[in-house]
Structure 1
């Protein structure tokens, strides 16, 4: 029976046992946790067990994209809803590795439940054992070895998803264990709560005093602001102390970028206000940021006094020497700082209101780039695509993301993310193609939103068949593919191979693929046709049809902050 019970004949009325299979128990716990769907790729015994409890499956075309979808879902819900992924043991788990690695670097909480080889054969070469191989890209990585241990293991796994530093949590479930019976009821499962640590009073006082004494402080807001839903508190602190705010790539949209104190995103490519105010800063307050050094993130200069608030003690001193590191939930720490400031009128000394200077630097930056953003060039400039997208979308009702490489570097400095969660940025490890799954997951989490993914043709080549997942699962997203017939930016890393053999060349047409997969596809090559084509594709998406707009562009090496 669907609930795992069965009737037994005896001398009295029919009685029910409490025994159920391991798969049914796990699915029952997911039901108790309010899980709305189970994402992955078969075979996994959890799909049927979950479906019996009205938890629908979302089957992707590839395991990697299934994990990307879960990441997009988790990020669009700020981790408030449990994202669950399951895949088959062996090749399924192997193929999911890249997606879990991306989620680990993005600091995204999710529950990964791969099945495992039957017990006794999991360590036999060449069998792939998830418990051993995923240990360095999860924060908790265990395998169930006895079916009776499932209640405590499921509780422990979900507790770790909800608490501490955000990251994937893995519990491997051997297939023979999932078929065994146990005496347990999911209704006895106690849903783990979330604990949010705060700073000590003395730590808060030092943070505030350092900021008040600073001549030119800046705030660097990370993804922790979004995870803690702490945008309101961040805005309040910035306004109280007149401090300019920039975000990390992952934290983009955590501070409204149309605010007078907003500097933009401190990525590899970035708007001029970021460089201008970071150069003159004496104190940098990193809030909800791991302060990771990366090729894709603007480094903090060595002459700055750095203050850091993070959930993860391993972040402190990891890549930078920090003058003060505070372990705590950034939302609570911000409230503590605001309360401490409220006890007395802050004295800002000779510090001037920076808003006029921010506006002046931003205006000069935009004036410099407007010729590219509004270019009439043929083939179309990728910056023209960015500009038209900015005109067509309402940030209050949209979620946008990009793919790795040039689409990220051309889009991020200019798109104004004014609403928390309206932009899924990523930039530590940058696997081509991840943006498509992120967009599908975001649409799954927020079906009312207009969701757009901007990617290059190299990225589409990695994951393009999963466009069909969006079609089949009624998750209408808009994918914009920038087609320039090259691996954008790669010629400089292989100049001889490019010159002699055209190693950076690729070919293809992508709108027909979208049509063949059941969606809407269109190709545009003239700049004057771009806006009508974009609006038509958005109309299709709003009408419920996954759409792909292929734009023929030229390769564009000029990047903001690097040119």
Structure 2
């Protein structure tokens, strides 16, 4: 069996159903021969974004795989791998390399060398018999510990060489670690004695599938829960103890309860310092529970640290806290829930004029509000894009089921959301999958809407067109006034129709809900749809 066929057989053994790709790479044809469906994109970055979403939707159990050609294919893929690395998403990346006789010759691009700082592991296979072990290592690294991309580069002249028989491949196992029991007991005493505890839940809750354990912990402690942007939907946001998610824009509930907390338990989070995350207030007792020990003391000094899988950590804490509380909550959840509801009501009252605005051009907040009240939220997966769509959507969208919101922000490449929505739709074909983006983002990856059409991936794309880079206007006044440097626009609904999808432009408030319903109906017919909303240049977002 030649190397390409052996790789395809290994991918099949690992449960790979889709191979995201851009030709030329011999793995594509070999994969099709074993009934792995190739998804060929218009640019490498979008294919990696699709693989990224596939991994997320399975909590990393199904690892997204992407392959590309050597030279420009590998070079163009760099951004997509960097995005997955920054967001801690497991991928296996299989670039073709230059022939072995040329792989070290300048200026030939070496993936194994150049991707080293944005992958968990990166290696080049030099002999065909090394392929099974190299792929086993890659899948194991991607699937275990902190999830991140792993790369295996295969030189082009190696693909047709024979992998010596007999060879055997056993899929990479999943392993989990638990925190130190002694530290668990100390932390349990702190949590049981807290007067105003708050839980900060990150993306690690999704990867550990710790949703039920998080809910049990919150209800036992009667503690409000805030999630990071990546952790959004890890806790149902219609729960009385839900505060919402944190990012550059946050609900008032997040700010209020973090400020008043005496103890903050961070679970499945890195506490990375970023303007797209919540700033943890000083003067609190911090408990940092994370899978990756390199997160500890990186950006914050926590009094207590637990290293381990989020579900195992939460289950251990519940077992240790419960007897300290006499086996049940103390009975203060009603008061906590009323305070949360009051703060939320006050905050929404301030924003209601924008959320229900009848102005034209449209308020993007009105579009989000009507979208949320039109779709079946529990059966919808939604993601934002970089910039204004993220800051406008995340505070107000109420996620009620796990993995129904794909949040991101450690790095903020424009156009990421389109591939995420397409990958989510492949992973969850029965759910409505939506990406919310702006006219800047569609300029980066918009041509890959044709991929959605060609590959029969019926997503609903919500585009805010304000003919401007609105966030940049206040910081580029001279450039804007003299050279109109922040002006961007186009007929994006027309573009989508030209690519074979359903495109509709919406300009007045009364058209919003009917257009959304038409867009959903088109996706149910199997047609990708883009609704282009002509919006005002909104620069205000919910921050404190």
Pair in the same fold by TM > 0.5:
yes
* Correspondence for 2:144 among 143, 163, 177: 163
Alignment gaps of 5+ in structure 2? none
Aligned to 1:559: 541
CA contact (8 A) 2:197 2:221 kept: no
Aligned to 1:327: 307
Aligned to 1:213: 193
1:175 and 2:156 correspond: yes
**TM superposition shift of 1:507:** 2.2
CA contact (8 A) 1:486 1:555 kept: yes
Quote the Cα distance in structure 1 between the aligned partners of 2:382 and 2:489. 26
**TM superposition shift of 1:82:** 2.1
Aligned to 1:115: 96
Residue 36 and residue 185 in structure 1: after superposition, are their counterparts in 2 closer, same or farther (change >3 A)? farther
**TM superposition shift of 1:185:** 5.6
**TM superposition shift of 1:302:** 2.3
CA contact (8 A) 1:403 1:435 kept: yes
Aligned to 2:246: 266
1:364 and 2:346 correspond: yes
Quote the Cα distance in structure 2 between the aligned partners of 1:208 and 1:488. 47
CA deviations 1:322-344 (Å, max 9, x no partner) are: 11111100001111111223345
* Correspondence for 2:397 among 402, 415, 421: 415
Aligned to 1:385: 367
Q: Could you tell me the TM-score, scaled by structure 2's length? A: 0.98
SS in 2 for 1:448: coil
Aligned to 1:153: 134
**TM superposition shift of 1:145:** 1.2
CA contact (8 A) 1:215 1:351 kept: no
* Correspondence for 1:474 among 456, 460, 467: 456
Aligned to 1:98: 79
Quote the Cα distance in structure 2 between the aligned partners of 1:489 and 1:92. 32
Residue 480 and residue 347 in structure 1: after superposition, are their counterparts in 2 closer, same or farther (change >3 A)? closer
Q: Could you tell me the TM-score, scaled by structure 1's length? A: 0.94
Aligned to 1:50: 31
- Mean Cα deviation higher: 345-354 or 295-304: 345-354
Quote the Cα distance in structure 1 between the aligned partners of 2:331 and 2:156. 67
What's the RMSD between the two structures over aligned residues?
1.4
Q: How does 1:57-68 map to 2 (within 5 A)?
A: 57-68=38-49
- Mean Cα deviation higher: 56-65 or 142-151: 142-151
Residue 185 and residue 24 in structure 1: after superposition, are their counterparts in 2 closer, same or farther (change >3 A)? farther
CA contact (8 A) 2:120 2:150 kept: yes
SS in 2 for 1:183: coil
Q: How does 1:58-457 map to 2 (within 5 A)?
A: 58-184=39-165, 188-344=168-324, 345=326, 353-457=335-439
Aligned to 1:25: 6
Q: How does 1:9-24 map to 2 (within 5 A)?
A: 20-24=1-5
Aligned to 2:19: 38
SS in 2 for 1:387: helix
* Correspondence for 1:496 among 478, 502, 508: 478
SS in 2 for 1:67: helix
**TM superposition shift of 1:248:** 0.2
**TM superposition shift of 1:311:** 1.1
> After the TM superposition, which segments of 4 or more aligned residues of structure 1 sit over 2 Å from their partners?
341-344, 346-353
- Mean Cα deviation higher: 334-343 or 350-359: 350-359
Residue 149 and residue 320 in structure 1: after superposition, are their counterparts in 2 closer, same or farther (change >3 A)? same
SS in 1 for 2:226: strand
Quote the Cα distance in structure 2 between the aligned partners of 1:498 and 1:408. 23
**TM superposition shift of 1:348:** 7.5
CA contact (8 A) 1:215 1:350 kept: no
**TM superposition shift of 1:493:** 2.3
CA deviations 1:46-78 (Å, max 9, x no partner) are: 001111111110001100000011111111121
SS in 2 for 1:490: helix
Residue 505 and residue 196 in structure 1: after superposition, are their counterparts in 2 closer, same or farther (change >3 A)? same
Residue 347 and residue 256 in structure 1: after superposition, are their counterparts in 2 closer, same or farther (change >3 A)? closer
Residue 536 and residue 185 in structure 1: after superposition, are their counterparts in 2 closer, same or farther (change >3 A)? farther
SS in 2 for 1:392: coil
Question: For this pair of structures, how many residues does the alignment match?
Answer: 542
SS in 2 for 1:333: helix
Quote the Cα distance in structure 2 between the aligned partners of 1:91 and 1:207. 51
SS in 2 for 1:396: helix
CA deviations 1:237-279 (Å, max 9, x no partner) are: 0000101000000000000000000000111101000000011
CA contact (8 A) 1:25 1:185 kept: no
Quote the Cα distance in structure 1 between the aligned partners of 2:61 and 2:389. 29
Alignment gaps of 5+ in structure 1? 1-19
Quote the Cα distance in structure 2 between the aligned partners of 1:354 and 1:189. 53
Quote the Cα distance in structure 1 between the aligned partners of 2:304 and 2:110. 41
